[in-house]
């Protein structure tokens, strides 16, 4: 193993690559158990896809926004317990009043209760599809969807085609597909499988839970979800977290010369597999300024970024292939801030749905902030909306002003003309972030989950993988990231 000269060399028990919630939870757990750690992070901040941000209004006043992940649902028990342990407060999403539904013809309907105000036939078809998805979800489960009896069959059909197999009601299909496609995986329903959709639902407990916005988008952290990472980082300590240090090279095993193909001069590699996967080894992680020696690595970055690191020797061939079948979704998170939550004056909750429209979901995202007399709701009203997959591409093709105008026009078609007059407006764009490259998270292409999913949590030599995107419970969510970080740390501790 060599190292580039002029880098500071440090030694730790474990190197963690990535200071998002998964990596920080791994480091926190290891450090509590008496292990030494170094966390290297590409960005100049911790938190990854969670990010407490700001936007200025016309008068120069700064407003708090959550650029990345924010909501917690009641099934996310590991995150809830951690939030409590870290001394953070939470508050419930505002949900009083009626909701708005836009039908495919663009007409606005005001409704209350759980059922969208569609025709009786569409409602019955939607309920049928939801019941069927509940069954498939229970059958597949979150732990090993690739091992389910019908895994291959469900992975060969796109979610859209699967819905179409069971219904001919386009409005019902559009509405039911929202909950997984534009709403969660942020990919068109034709590009991922029914198995992948079932995993998404199983990771939240059931398809019924996904459909219930009051369950899935229940609470937020006062001060923002990034506070979880900031608090973890504080407990780990600045001396062990190295910001602005992308891992460039990961030396993880000594190449075995006996596997080389001398005849064709193919360099030695791990084509015949690795022995003792998970055991400690000799690891060297290099960033631009550091060389860190350790016994194990936790690779806590989203799978679409694994290949940004050079592995020495190269990763086993099945990992090379598997990683190419998992990609980021695409969604723009829209923040519109108003002088007051005007929709409440009309008895509206701010919750809006419209399958097939540019903005398919919209919520009241008014902040509750910490004050001397405890958490208090701000006087400003904030709406958060989402522009997903192909609609996001459409928006990026426009110039900034036309994009804003188009999105506000859409919000106004749910909540009235006043929606066109925000005092501040911001679009979250994680697709443009080099160290994320999309939103919210990654998922497999058609057929990928049943072929490659079994590998995603198997260690490679001394490398453990940890990320929300390869979680079972809390898949694609901060809860899943926390579970993954903790699990990787526990597995390292168990085998030592």
Ligand X SMILES: Cc1cc2nc3c(=O)[nH]c(=O)nc-3n(C[C@H](O)[C@H](O)[C@H](O)COP(=O)(O)OP(=O)(O)OC[C@H]3O[C@@H](n4cnc5c(N)ncnc54)[C@H](O)[C@@H]3O)c2cc1C
- Nearest approach in angstroms of CB 275 to ligand X is 26
> Using CA atoms, how far apart are residues 191 and 490, in angstroms rounded to an integer?
35
Instruction: Note the Cα 427 to chain centre separation in Å.
Output: 17
Q: Is residue 94 within the footprint of ligand X (CB under 6 A)?
A: no
Tokens 């003792």 label which residue? 276
DSSP letter string, 37-59: EEEE-SSSSS-TT--EEEEE-TT
Which of 118, 319 has the CB closer to ligand X? 319
Which of 48, 223 has the CB closer to ligand X? 48
Strands, E assignment, 44-144: 52-56, 62-66, 71-72, 90-92, 98-102, 108-111
- Nearest approach in angstroms of CB 285 to ligand X is 9
SS (H, E, C) 192-256: CEHHHHHHHHHHCCCHHHHHCHHHHCCEEECCCCHHHHHHHHHHHCHHHEECCCCCCEEECCCCC
Q: Is residue 172 within the footprint of ligand X (CB under 6 A)?
A: no
Site for ligand X in 46-85 (CB under 6 A): 48-50, 68-71
- The site string for ligand X over 221-260 (x = CB under 6 A, - otherwise) reads -------------------------xx-------------
Which of 48, 129 has the CB closer to ligand X? 48
Q: Pairing between strand 296-299 and 463-465? A: parallel
Which of 181, 301 has the CB closer to ligand X? 301
Which of 206, 259 has the CB closer to ligand X? 206
Q: Is residue 300 within the footprint of ligand X (CB under 6 A)?
A: yes
Choice from 37, 40, 136, 359 touching ligand X (CB under 6 A): 40
Choice from 136, 200, 301, 362 touching ligand X (CB under 6 A): 301
Of residues 338, 97, 333, the one with CA closest to residue 225: 333
Which of 19, 348 has the CB closer to ligand X? 19
- Is residue 198 within 8 A of residue 158, CB to CB? The reply is no
Q: Is residue 478 within the footprint of ligand X (CB under 6 A)?
A: yes
The torsion angles phi and psi of 345, rounded to 5 degrees, stand at -65, -25
- Nearest approach in angstroms of CB 40 to ligand X is 5
Choice from 26, 202, 284, 481 touching ligand X (CB under 6 A): 481
Q: Is residue 385 within the footprint of ligand X (CB under 6 A)?
A: no
- Nearest approach in angstroms of CB 430 to ligand X is 4
Site for ligand X in 319-338 (CB under 6 A): 333
Choice from 334, 411, 439, 472 touching ligand X (CB under 6 A): 439
Which of 29, 70 has the CB closer to ligand X? 70
User: How many other CB atoms sit within 10 Å of the CB of residue 346?
Assistant: 12
- Nearest approach in angstroms of CB 164 to ligand X is 29
Positive or negative: CA dihedral 38, 40, 45, 47:
negative
Q: What sections of 88-169 are H helices per DSSP?
A: 120-140, 151-155, 159-166
User: How many other CB atoms sit within 10 Å of the CB of residue 239?
Assistant: 7
> Using CA atoms, how far apart are residues 463 and 442, in angstroms rounded to an integer?
20
Choice from 305, 415, 446, 489 touching ligand X (CB under 6 A): 305
> Using CA atoms, how far apart are residues 74 and 431, in angstroms rounded to an integer?
29
Q: What is the dihedral of CA 256, 259, 261, 267, to 10 degrees?
A: -30
- Nearest approach in angstroms of CB 466 to ligand X is 7
Q: Is residue 488 within the footprint of ligand X (CB under 6 A)?
A: no
Of residues 180, 206, 205, the one with CA closest to residue 193: 180
Q: Is residue 200 within the footprint of ligand X (CB under 6 A)?
A: no
Q: Is residue 448 within the footprint of ligand X (CB under 6 A)?
A: no
| Number of residues this chain uses to bind ligand X (CB under 6 A) | 41
Is 87 buried (19+), middle (13-18) or exposed (0-12) by CB count in 10 A? exposed
Of residues 284, 255, 258, 281, the one with CA closest to residue 270: 255
Site for ligand X in 399-438 (CB under 6 A): 428, 430, 435-436
User: How many other CB atoms sit within 10 Å of the CB of residue 273?
Assistant: 11
> Using CA atoms, how far apart are residues 286 and 289, in angstroms rounded to an integer?
8
Which of 160, 219 has the CB closer to ligand X? 219
Choice from 137, 304, 388, 476 touching ligand X (CB under 6 A): 476
- Nearest approach in angstroms of CB 132 to ligand X is 26
Q: Is residue 18 within the footprint of ligand X (CB under 6 A)?
A: yes
Which of 30, 129 has the CB closer to ligand X? 30
**In DSSP terms, which residues pair with 238 in a beta bridge?**
none
Which of 140, 471 has the CB closer to ligand X? 471
| From 93-101, 344-352, 409-417, 470-478, span contacting ligand X (CB under 6 A) | 470-478
- Is residue 317 within 8 A of residue 414, CB to CB? The reply is no
| Residue count (the chain) | 496
DSSP for residue 157: S
Q: Is residue 303 within the footprint of ligand X (CB under 6 A)?
A: no
| From 37-45, 121-129, 158-166, 195-203, span contacting ligand X (CB under 6 A) | 37-45
Give the nearest residue (CB) to ligand X. 20
Contacts with ligand X by CB under 6 A lie at 17-23, 40-43, 48-50, 68-71, 246-247, 300-302, 305, 308-309, 333, 428, 430, 435-436, 439-441, 467-468, 476-479, 481
């Amino acid at each position: 193993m060599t190292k580039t000269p002029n880098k500071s060399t440090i030694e730790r028990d474990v190197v963690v690559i990535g200071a998002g919630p998964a990596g920080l939870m791994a480091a926190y757990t290891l450090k509590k158990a008496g292990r030494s750690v170094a966390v290297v992070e590409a960005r100049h901040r911790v938190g990854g896809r969670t990010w407490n941000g700001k936007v200025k209004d016309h008068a120069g006043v700064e407003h708090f926004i959550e650029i990345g992940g924010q909501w917690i649902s009641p099934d996310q028990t590991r995150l809830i317990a951690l939030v409590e342990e870290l001394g953070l407060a939470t508050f419930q999403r505002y949900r009083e009043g009626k909701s708005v539904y836009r039908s495919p013809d663009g007409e606005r309907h005001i409704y209350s209760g759980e059922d969208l105000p569609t025709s009786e036939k569409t409602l019955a078809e939607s309920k049928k599809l939801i019941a069927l998805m509940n069954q498939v979800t229970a059958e597949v489960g979150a732990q090993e969807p690739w091992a389910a009896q019908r895994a291959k069959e469900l992975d060969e059909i796109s979610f859209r085609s699967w819905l179409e197999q069971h219904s001919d009601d386009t409005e019902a299909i559009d509405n039911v597909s929202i909950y997984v496609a534009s709403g969660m995986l942020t990919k068109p329903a034709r590009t991922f499988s029914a198995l992948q959709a079932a995993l998404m639902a199983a990771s939240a407990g059931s398809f019924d839970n996904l459909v219930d916005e009051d369950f899935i988008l229940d609470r937020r952290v006062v001060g923002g979800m990034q506070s979880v990472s900031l608090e973890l980082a504080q407990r780990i300590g600045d001396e062990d977290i190295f910001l602005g240090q992308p891992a460039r090279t990961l030396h993880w095993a000594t190449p075995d010369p006996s596997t080389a193909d001398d005849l064709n001069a193919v360099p030695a590699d791990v084509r015949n597999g690795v022995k003792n996967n998970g055991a400690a080894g000799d690891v060297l992680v290099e960033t631009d300024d550091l060389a860190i020696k350790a016994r194990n690595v936790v690779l806590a970055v989203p799978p679409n970024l694994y290949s940004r690191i050079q592995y020495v020797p190269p990763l086993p061939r099945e990992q090379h292939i598997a990683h190419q079948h998992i990609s980021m979704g695409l969604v723009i998170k829209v923040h519109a801030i108003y002088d007051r939550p005007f929709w409440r004056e009309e008895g509206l909750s701010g919750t809006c749905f419209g399958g097939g429209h540019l903005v398919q979901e919209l919520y009241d995202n008014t902040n509750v902030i910490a004050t001397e007399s405890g958490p208090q709701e701000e006087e400003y009203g904030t709406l958060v909306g989402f522009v997903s997959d192909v609609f996001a591409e459409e928006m990026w093709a426009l110039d900034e002003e036309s994009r804003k105008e188009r999105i506000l026009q859409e919000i106004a078609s749910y909540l009235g003309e006043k929606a066109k007059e925000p005092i501040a407006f911001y679009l979250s764009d994680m697709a443009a972030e080099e160290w994320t490259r999309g939103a919210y998270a990654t998922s497999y292409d058609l057929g990928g989950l049943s072929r490659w999913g079994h590998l995603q949590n198997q260690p490679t030599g001394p490398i453990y993988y940890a990320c929300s995107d390869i979680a079972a419970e809390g898949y694609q969510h901060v809860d899943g990231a926390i579970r993954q970080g903790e699990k990787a740390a526990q597995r390292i501790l168990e085998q030592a």
